[in-house]
Structure 1
Amino acid sequence: MAAHTDPAQLPRRFIKLAEAKTLTTLSTSEIYRRIAAGTFPTQVNLGPKSVAWIEAEVLAWCEARIAASRGETV
């Protein structure tokens, strides 16, 4: 059985779009498409022109995709 990352156990850290893209290998447009569909973590507004994602939420999303591809539940 694979070990899964519990977002509650990770320190909260903001990541910018470039890092979210690196972690997921998704394009910018695909990330925003999935946010609109409610299937990707939403960003946090840091200021008038700045947003970021919570790293633990993006990692949990990645873990869920891995588990789903292997028929596991998270």
Structure 2
Amino acid sequence: MNDNHQLLSLNDAARLTSLSRSMLNRYRREGRFPRAVPLGEKRIAFVASEVRTWIADRIAARAA
């Protein structure tokens, strides 16, 4: 599957980033995390490649 089309649930994104769901939601509100894709009335997901890029950016920032 093309990673550009792979979606991660909020739980999967939390696991992948090692952040809690509440911290991810705070980062989302602050515009500090990739925007969610609405899937339904109460369901969202995140584009996997965008989350991986966000993680890579955090890793790169520690070297600065």
TM over 0.5: yes
Q: How many residues align?
A: 63
Considering only CA atoms, is the larger Rg found in Structure 1 or Structure 2?
1
More helix by share: 2
1:12-27 → structure 2 map (5 Å cutoff) = 12-27=5-20
Q: Partner amino acid for 2:50?
A: E
Q: How large is the Cα RMSD of the aligned pairs?
A: 1.4
**Inter-partner Cα distance in structure 2 for 1:22 and 1:39:** 17
Unaligned segments of structure 1, at least 5 residues: 1-8
CA 1:57/1:37 → structure 2, altered by over 3 Å: closer, same or farther?
Answer: same
Alpha-carbon distance, 1:17 to partner: 1.0
Unaligned segments of structure 2, at least 5 residues: none
Alpha-carbon distance, 1:49 to partner: 2.0
| TM-score scaled by length of structure 2 | 0.89
